[in-house]
């Protein structure tokens, strides 16, 4: 299970790598010259041309590929496309080729979003949070690797344009591994049952479970749930999803959570962190080093998630994470604002506190609005619409990223570090939404999670329909699920 999850999780390495790659090249002078010294609008457009194809394809095309041909094929296809994109960006003789590579990269990213769904469907109910939490760790790992390579490249001016070309071409390594390696791990057992490959599903579960797990019981639950879906539901249109109160509730929650993942301040620091640090420390080498420190802390935070997210639950992580991040953003923004200028290198103590606040922000973000958002998104939808609705809701991260990529460069130019206060305000709103609208989902199987959202327990419903009266495995919703302490 862990081997399959880590291999699928490597898809997130691409996304984390590219996010910091883009942030890193923004402070490389020969890249700026190669691109014609782009202004704030052009820099935002470079992010947009990557994000737009991801959003469109992830909503309208990738779910069909996932449902028709499987989660593994979608991940492999996306990985191959990303390899092509990286080669185009690294070897292009002109800026037009770089723009084209960004577009192709966005196409590939749309298909690798099958990975968190695959991880959730392969996991057991007791460690599903831990397994999907790997997705956030690999993002942070990709970001860290990108920054380390950028530090090495920028410290060697003799490389010339290969300072940034080297950063781009190293993107081919991990997707090449996933494109081939994903075929050596089992397909999602739930997808196999959905397509009537029962024996293959049994074999997949056997490979993914330990000797102590009851494979036959789990397989029976999946079969019952899928059978109920086939007899009582269809592939729903978006209009029909909004008619269903339970699905509408879940889709809106997932969309907002994914949007909040970006507007909490995470996106701005990931995509433009090097510029923020450059303004503070007036040194590109220090800016990239600070970016690396930020990435390490974020990875540590994500590692914390896999250790305790299945114990304390999703609600607590998201609620308290938002409040803590709010405080850290206020501190990080207040220091340079209070000193009356961007460059704070003359005040070592103030600079240290600012960096510490940003690091603590990411230490909290990793297990909360990093990992927990993906965990909730991939576990709350039923099988018949999971790929479609995960595709829609997860793209609200890219919609948020798209908006911020256009707004943040200009906002930071005008507001400087006061822009941190804007993100702090978003975090307060996020905590309120979690408090009132998100139920706890830890410890419940994917087949039985509908009951928490006012839907039908599909396993129990099918058993009752077939006259099976053994209810010992029915869902028991924790009466303390709403507790935040």
Q: Has residue 478 been placed in a domain?
A: no
The CA distance from 242 to 481, in Å, is: 26
Q: Has residue 473 been placed in a domain?
A: no
Q: Has residue 394 been placed in a domain?
A: yes
If one counts the domains in the chain, the total is 1
Structural domain of 452 = 2-465
- State the SS3 of 329-369: HHHHHHHHHHHCCCCCCCCHHHHHHHHHHHHHHHHHHHHHH
Q: Has residue 470 been placed in a domain?
A: no
Give 50's pLDDT tier (boundaries 50, 70, 90).
confident
pLDDT in tens, 137-148: 898 898 888 888
Q: Has residue 126 been placed in a domain?
A: yes
Burial class (CB in 10 A: 0-12, 13-18, 19+), 177: middle
The CA distance from 425 to 430, in Å, is: 9
- pLDDT value for 477: 42
pLDDT in tens, 221-258: 899 888 887 777 666 666 777 788 888 999 999 999 99
Q: Has residue 481 been placed in a domain?
A: no
Q: Has residue 337 been placed in a domain?
A: yes
Give 6's pLDDT tier (boundaries 50, 70, 90).
very high
Closest CA to 1 of 183, 124, 129, 125: 124
Q: What's the whole-model pTM score?
A: 0.83
The CA distance from 184 to 193, in Å, is: 19
Question: What CATH number is given to the structural domain containing 44?
Answer: 1.20.1250.20
The CA distance from 20 to 359, in Å, is: 16
The CA distance from 111 to 238, in Å, is: 20
Q: Has residue 432 been placed in a domain?
A: yes
Q: How far apart are the first and last CA of the chain?
A: 32
């Amino acid at each position: 299970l862990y081997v399959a999850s880590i291999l699928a999780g490597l898809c997130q390495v691409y996304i984390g790598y590219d996010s910091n790659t883009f942030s890193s090249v923004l402070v490389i002078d020969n890249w700026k010259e190669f691109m014609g010294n782009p202004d704030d609008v052009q820099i935002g457009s470079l992010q947009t041309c990557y994000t737009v194809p991801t959003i469109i394809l992830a909503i309208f095309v990738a779910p069909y590929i996932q449902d028709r041909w499987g989660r593994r094929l979608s991940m492999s296809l996306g990985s191959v496309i990303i390899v092509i994109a990286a080669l185009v960006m690294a070897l292009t003789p002109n800026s037009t080729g770089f723009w084209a590579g960004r577009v192709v990269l966005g196409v590939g990213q749309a298909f690798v979003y099958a990975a968190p769904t695959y991880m959730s469907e392969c996991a057991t109910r007791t460690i599903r949070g831990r397994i999907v939490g790997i997705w956030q760790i690999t993002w942070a790992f990709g970001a860290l690797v990108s920054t380390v390579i950028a530090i090495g490249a920028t410290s060697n001016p003799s490389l010339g344009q290969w300072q940034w070309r080297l950063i781009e071409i190293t993107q081919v390594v991990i997707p090449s591994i996933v494109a081939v390696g994903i075929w050596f791990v089992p397909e999602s057992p739930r997808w196999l049952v959905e397509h009537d490959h029962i024996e293959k599903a049994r074999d997949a579960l056997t490979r993914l479970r330990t000797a102590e797990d009851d494979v036959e019981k789990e397989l029976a639950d999946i079969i019952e749930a899928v059978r109920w879906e086939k007899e009582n539901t269809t592939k729903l249109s978006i209009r029909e999803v909004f008619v269903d109160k339970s699905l509408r509730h879940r889709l809106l929650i997932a969309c907002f959570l994914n949007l909040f993942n970006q507007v909490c301040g995470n996106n701005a620091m990931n995509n433009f962190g090097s510029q923020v640090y450059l303004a503070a420390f007036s040194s590109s080498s220090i800016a990239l080093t600070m970016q690396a420190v930020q990435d390490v802390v974020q990875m540590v935070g994500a590692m914390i998630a896999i250790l305790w997210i299945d114990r304390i639950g999703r609600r607590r992580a998201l609620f308290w994470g938002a409040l803590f991040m709010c405080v850290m953003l206020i501190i990080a923004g207040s220091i340079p604002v209070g000193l009356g200028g961007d460059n704070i290198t003359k005040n070592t103590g103030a600079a240290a506190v600012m960096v510490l606040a940003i690091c603590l922000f990411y230490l909290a973000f990793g297990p909360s609005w990093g990992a927990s958002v993906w965990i909730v998104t991939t576990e709350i939808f039923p099988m018949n619409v999971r790929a479609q609705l995960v595709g829609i809701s997860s793209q609200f991260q890219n919609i948020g990223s798209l908006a911020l990529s256009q707004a943040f460069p200009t906002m930071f130019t005008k507001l400087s570090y006061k822009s941190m206060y804007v993100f702090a305000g978003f975090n307060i709103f996020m905590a309120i939404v979690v408090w009132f609208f998100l139920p706890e989902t830890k410890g419940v199987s994917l087949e039985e999670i509908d009951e928490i959202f006012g839907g039908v327990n599909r396993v129990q419903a099918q058993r009752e329909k077939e006259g099976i009266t053994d209810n010992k495995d029915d869902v028991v919703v924790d009466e303390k699920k709403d507790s935040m302490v």
